[in-house]
A and B are shown apart, each in its own frame.
Chain A
C-alpha cells in the first residue's frame, strides 16, 4: 500500500463507521495539515484512532499502539522538527485497510538519524532520565518505523509508521 499513489479515493469516515458492512475491500486515506501546536495532538490522535477502530484492528492497537506512537511522532515533528514554531506546519497522512496501517508525519525540519537517536531507556543509566523514551516507544509499538527526506515538498522530514494487522492464531 502506498500513500503516494493517489489511486484510492477517500472514503468519508461516517460511511465507513455507520454501514456495518465488511471493510475487506475498502482502503481509507486521510490527509491533515495542522499548525505547530502541541495542544492539537490529542485531537489528531483521537481522529486517527477512530478510523483505525472502524477497520477492526485489535482494541489495544487503537488504545495504545496508535495513540502513543502517533503522539510521539507528532510531538517530535512539532517540537524538534519545527522548533515549536507556530508558523510551521505538520502534515499527517494515513492509509488503512484490512491488512495494515501506514501513518506518515511530515515536518519542516532537516531530519535526524533514527538509529543514532534511538536510545534504550531501560538500562540502569537511562531509566531515571526524564527524556529519551519517544523513539524507543514508537519502535516498540509499531512494526516498522522509517525516516526519510520527502521530495515534495523537497527537503521535508518524514517519519513513516507501519503496523500490520496481527494474524489470527491457528486453532
Chain B
C-alpha cells in the first residue's frame, strides 16, 4: 500500500496503490495537506491500481475535498473500477466528486 505524488503541470496526481483504509488513510491525508500547504490547488487522485476503499478512506477523500475547496482548489478522481464505482454509488459520493474515466480525461477536466 503506497501513495505516489507526481506533478503534471499545475496538477498534483496522487496514485493510490493497494488499499485506502483505516490503516493508511492518515498518510494520504498528510501528504495531500502538505502539498496544499505548499500552495498546490489542483489534485487528481488516480485509483487505477487501487484494491478497495473502506469508509475511513472515503471519509478522508471527503475531508480533503472540503479542505482543498476552502482554499479555492479542487480534488477530482479518476479510474474507478466497477467495485469502486459501486462503492461511490452506494454512498452517493459519486454526486460529490467529479470522476473521470481515465487519468488523461481527469487531467483535461481541470
Measured between beta carbons, the chain B residues less than 8 angstroms from A71 are: 19, 21-22, 52, 54
Q: A63-B83, A122-B91, A127-B92 are in contact. Are A68 and B54 (CB under 8 A)?
A: yes
Interface Cβ pair total, 8 Å cutoff: 79
Determine chain A's interface SS by DSSP, over half rule. Answer: helix
CB pair A60–B23 under 8 Å, yes or no, is: no
CB pair A130–B62 under 8 Å, yes or no, is: yes
| Most chain B beta-carbon contacts within 10 A, residue among A39, A121, A129, A133 | A133
Measured between beta carbons, the chain B residues less than 8 angstroms from A3 are: none
Q: A42-B1, A128-B66 are in contact. Are A137 and B55 (CB under 8 A)?
A: yes
CB pair A129–B90 under 8 Å, yes or no, is: no
Q: A79-B22, A127-B93, A130-B62 are in contact. Are A60 and B82 (CB under 8 A)?
A: yes
CB pair A67–B52 under 8 Å, yes or no, is: yes
Partner of A131, one of B59, B92, B96: B59
Q: How far is the CB of B57 from chain A (nearest CB, A)?
A: 9
Taken together as a complex, chains A and B put the C-alpha atoms of A8 and B52 apart, in Å, by: 32
CB pair B91–A121 under 8 Å, yes or no, is: yes
Q: Is A38 an interface residue (CB 8 A)?
A: yes
Q: Is A134 an interface residue (CB 8 A)?
A: yes
Q: Is A140 an interface residue (CB 8 A)?
A: yes
CB pair B86–A134 under 8 Å, yes or no, is: no
- Residue-by-residue, is B52-94 near A (CB-CB < 8 Å gives 1, otherwise 0)? 1111101110110010000000000000001100110011110
CB pair A121–B92 under 8 Å, yes or no, is: yes
Q: Is A36 an interface residue (CB 8 A)?
A: no
Taken together as a complex, chains A and B put the C-alpha atoms of A75 and B58 apart, in Å, by: 14
Q: Is A98 an interface residue (CB 8 A)?
A: no
Q: Give A contacts to B, CB under 8 Å.
A: 38-42, 60, 63-64, 67-68, 71-72, 75, 79, 121-122, 127-134, 136-137, 140-141
10 tightest A-B contacts by CB? A133-B55, A64-B83, A130-B59, A122-B92, A134-B55, A75-B22, A71-B54, A67-B52, A38-B23, A130-B63
Chosen A-B contacts, 20 in total, with CB atoms closer than 8 Å, are A38-B22, A40-B23, A42-B1, A42-B18, A42-B21, A63-B83, A64-B83, A67-B19, A67-B51, A68-B54, A71-B21, A71-B54, A75-B22, A127-B93, A130-B59, A130-B62, A133-B59, A134-B55, A136-B55, A141-B90
